[in-house]
Amino acid sequence: MLKAPKFWYIKKKSLYSQILYPFSILFRIGTRIHKIISIENKSPIPTICIGNIVVGGAGKTPVSMKICKLLQKAGYNPHFISKGYAGIIKNSLIVENWHSAISVGDEPILLSKIAKTWVGKNRVKSSYLAKNAGADCLILDDGFQNPSISKNISIVVIDGEQEFGNNKVMPAGPLRESVRRGLSRANAVIIIGKQSDQLKQRIPNTIPVFKANFEIDKNNEIFKGKNITAFAGIAYPDKFFTTLELQGAKIVKKVSFPDHHIYTENDLLDLVETTNKTKSILVTTQKDFIRIPKSYRPLVKTLNGEISFEDEEVLVEIISNILENFYVNDNSINNEKY
């Protein structure tokens, strides 16, 4: 599991990024070869891809959840499809309430609380199963760099604080591909948080940009002025810690785990011991909470909230127009393929 190196988000050149740069070239060559040899398959219903250019931490999952809610409000029946990263299940199936993060991954469990969610290595197969189950559109959480399934609209999510890090491709930096190459396939960009002038200049004028913020649930006001032991197993944990501090929490201990880390009983015992020593409250993210053993969940609080968009009506209109255009042009495919 990945834990983002600190040098990835240092703007100036670092020794590590220079040493790893030759491997970045190999990575870029490998991804291009993969794209060339991959066969793109069409989904039987329109697919909305929510992706990012950096490795994790941009906020695509909360954006996917919010867009799903907006589409449901507009009268659509979207389903999520996901590879189920870090889950052991590979064959396409629907996420049930008894599934765990070990079986299907943490993100699909979060998504399944909003709408029906399908996991599986073969996203195209999942798309047919979703159509047969009544979906009229799909939200692809991640998969922006996956050439095996076509997308009707691709939305790139950018965190305004981290932007593109040191602007280098893995492993020298956090980029999955070059910024230019990634944005060339984007139909829209969503920027969460601040939007610097430098970031604005990097996005072509032809791409609509929507500003978003992560709005904290009012119930989290209990953290203000409280001593907190904060822990997270996400790609960019500093963002979580900063959000807590902005809410007025006093973080006495910050504990980082690798991205998608499955918590053990020993992990929680160590964390609880820290809270006892520091007289603090144990707080984590909603995604991390899913990976905690159920017997320990009553001891942990979460930072809850959701994404809010400026000009959300315009965003929904853009997506709706593409969805309607799909059906007007009769792009449906025989759903008996799988």
User: Is 202 domain-assigned?
Assistant: yes
Residue given tokens 């979207």 in the structure block: 78
- Cα–Cα dist 143/108, whole Å: 14
Same domain, 264 and 316: no
- How many C-beta neighbours within 10 Å does residue 222 have? 12
Domain count of the fold of the chain? 2
Same domain, 143 and 235: no
Tell me which residue range forms the domain holding 272. 218-303
Q: Please enumerate in sequence order all residues whose Cβ is within 8 A of that of 10, keeping only pairs 6 or more positions apart, or say none.
A: 166
User: Is 30 domain-assigned?
Assistant: no
In the chain the beta strands, taken as DSSP E runs, fall at: 47-51, 78-82, 93-94, 117-119, 137-141, 153-159, 188-192, 209-216, 227-232, 250-256, 281-284, 301-302, 305-309
User: Is 287 domain-assigned?
Assistant: yes
Which token pair is 263?
A: 């918590």
Between the alpha carbon of residue 115 and those of residues 69, 80, 94, 185, the distances in Å are 9, 7, 11, 27
| CATH code (residue 254) | 3.40.50
| CATH code (residue 48) | 3.40.50.300
Same domain, 242 and 157: no
User: Is 24 domain-assigned?
Assistant: no
Same domain, 76 and 115: yes
Same domain, 142 and 260: no
Bridge partner residues of 212 (DSSP): 192, 309
Query: Could you report the per-residue pLDDT of 40-66, keeping only the tens digit for each?
Result: 899 999 999 999 999 877 899 999 999
Same domain, 142 and 168: yes
- Cα–Cα dist 104/227, whole Å: 34
Is the pTM of the predicted complex or chain greater than 0.85? Answer: yes
Same domain, 85 and 233: no
Which token pair is 70?
A: 């907006």
pLDDT at 219: 65
Same domain, 123 and 83: yes
User: Is 1 domain-assigned?
Assistant: no
User: Is 3 domain-assigned?
Assistant: no
Query: Could you report the per-residue pLDDT of 288-331, keeping only the tens digit for each?
Result: 999 999 999 999 999 988 999 999 999 999 999 999 999 888 65
Same domain, 254 and 222: yes
User: Is 76 domain-assigned?
Assistant: yes
Same domain, 111 and 205: yes
User: Is 265 domain-assigned?
Assistant: yes
What are the average pLDDT values for consecutive 10-residue runs of the chain, which has 338 residues? 78 88 93 87 94 88 96 98 89 94 94 97 95 96 89 95 92 94 95 91 94 82 88 91 91 94 96 96 95 95 92 95 87 55
Same domain, 197 and 69: yes
Same domain, 127 and 271: no
